[in-house]
Amino acid sequence: MEDINFLSDAQLASGIKEQSDRGDYLKELVNRHSGIYITMVNNYSPPATSSINSHRHDLLNDKEYYIYQAALKYDDSRRTKFSTYLGNETRWLCLNLYNKNKNSKEISDPNQLSHLSHLAQDSLSIPINEEVLHNIMSAARRETDSRVSKIFQLRYIDGEKNKVMPWNKVCKFVDLSIQGCINVHDKAIKKIKQELNKDI
């Protein structure tokens, strides 16, 4: 078996994209690049004020997920180092969350597909209409893969104060790697979306 310590960042990212649940690939990327991620979050996610809630704590808790997302989008043919790409992605993530947070309103649109898109984007706060969330959870419980309902329950229901539970905590309850949990989650989101499309 190959020694992942000798693999390049591009090789690790490529292995993650294959969705083979090689959690060690993601773990190695996280070990290598947590520093740049944490630095960018601290620099570009402002502290909480009386008028704005900071996402800094949530971003730091879910660093594995965002490094995973960066790996999925990384294209080494552009001759950009992964660390540079991750730094830029993290900066834009922080700035976008800050701008959204300034004008945030509770999502009350009953359109279930828009809520699924919201979940698929994995926003840190989930002020989702309770009826819609109930319907989404019901669909998750109908999945033959029992891990789906457990992951959805942990991620979206058992979090604190409308915050999603970080993936590093979810995976401990499901006995999967972070990447494995995300793969199960995203596959279920796509399937539920297809079912809802049929009903429209």
How much is the mean pLDDT over the chain? 80
Check whether residue 93 and residue 142 sit in a common domain: no
- Give residue-wise pLDDT tens across range 132-183: 778 778 888 888 888 999 998 988 888 766 677 888 889 889 888 888 888 8
pLDDT value at residue 70: 94
Check whether residue 37 and residue 90 sit in a common domain: yes
Instruction: Name the more confident of 104 and 102.
Output: 102
Supply the range of the domain harboring residue 88.
8-102
Examine the pLDDT at 112 and tell me if it is beyond 70.
no
Distance CA 94, CA 96 (A): 6
Q: Confirm if 153 and 137 have CB atoms less than 8 A apart.
A: yes
The answer to whether residue 78 sits within a structural domain is: yes
Distances (CA, A) of 47 to 22, 56, 87: 35, 7, 19
DSSP string, 87-134: HHHHHHHHHHHHHHHHT---B----HHHHHHHHHHT-SB--B-HHHHH
Handedness of CA 145, 150, 151, 152 (dihedral sign): positive
The answer to whether residue 1 sits within a structural domain is: no
pLDDT value at residue 51: 46
